[in-house]
Amino acid sequence: MKAQLADGDTGAEEALGLRERKKQQTREAIIRVALELFDRQGFAATTIPEIADAADVSPRTVSSYFPAKEDLVFPDSHATFERLAARFDARTAGETTAEALRAWITAESARWREQEERSALQRRVIAADPGLQAYSKRFIADGETLVAKAIAEDLGGSPDDLEARMASAATLAIFGVINAHEDAPETVKGRAPGAGSHTPHSRADAVELLDRALLFVSAGIRALQIARAEELGT
């Protein structure tokens, strides 16, 4: 009897796993066709019924996965911030925010490599729509708040302190520079400048630059920690 129950449990788990995989595949298909349509005909001009038709699902299905149209352009932002917040919460004693961020980037890099093509498409769609650019600033503000809170813990202060806010803004600015670096052309060796002689920088190049930049941020946080300790006479 126990064996039969165990077999039944396994079958239920497999069925659940299959349903989850199908849901994930549907979600990814909706994102892909939505971004392609946004890129081709513009975000504002593209309707949910058009996206549903291209993804071979109902408009209700699209809305159940993505309640707001903007969510189709920023499908993973909330989950990404949740993983970052969890990594900050799991910091070891003496580990600065920038060091934790570097470790998080290392953990995320495989996911980013898998989504390189989608990320480039997202950036194009956002760059072409002022409303999406404004919408993206909400995520930047959320990121700055999250990083400022972690840096404030490094310094034994408040997230509203000038040092924490400045260090947080500098950290988030790095990501903007890296995104611009990814989209910038790169001269191909052995070719003269001209048509067909440029290719985008790779995500791997960008991650390496980000890692190096965070070394400077980490050094700055440690310098602030020393200065704060001297002020307190500890």
Give the CA radius of gyration of the chain. Answer: 22
**144 and 66 in a common domain:** no
Mean pLDDT rounded to a whole number for the chain: 81
The token duo for 149 is 């809170």
Quote the CA–CA distance of 64 and 47 in Å, as a whole number.
Answer: 15
Q: CATH number of the domain that 27 lies in?
A: 1.10.357.10
**For residue 191, what pLDDT is reported?**
43
**35 and 20 in a common domain:** yes
Q: Which of 22-26, 54-58, 145-149, 206-210 has the highest mean pLDDT?
A: 54-58
**123 and 89 in a common domain:** yes
The secondary structure of 36-97 as a DSSP string is HHHHHH-TTT--HHHHHHHHTS-HHHHHHH-SSGGGGTSTTHHHHHHHHHHHHHTPPTT--H
**198 and 179 in a common domain:** yes
- Whether 5 shows a pLDDT value over 50: the answer reads no
**For residue 97, what pLDDT is reported?**
87
Query: What is the number of structural domains in the chain?
Result: 2
Tell which wins on pLDDT, 138 or 5: 138
Of the candidates 23, 55, 72, which is a domain's last residue? 72
Structural domain boundaries, residue 59: 1-72
Tell me: the pLDDT tens digits for 152-210?
A: 888 888 988 888 888 888 888 777 766 665 565 554 434 444 444 444 455 566 666 76
**For residue 192, what pLDDT is reported?**
42
Of the candidates 14, 40, 72, which is a domain's last residue? 72
- Whether 18 shows a pLDDT value over 90: the answer reads no
Neighbours of 167 (CB within 10 A): 25
**For residue 6, what pLDDT is reported?**
52
Reported confidence tier of residue 216, pLDDT bands at 50, 70, 90? confident
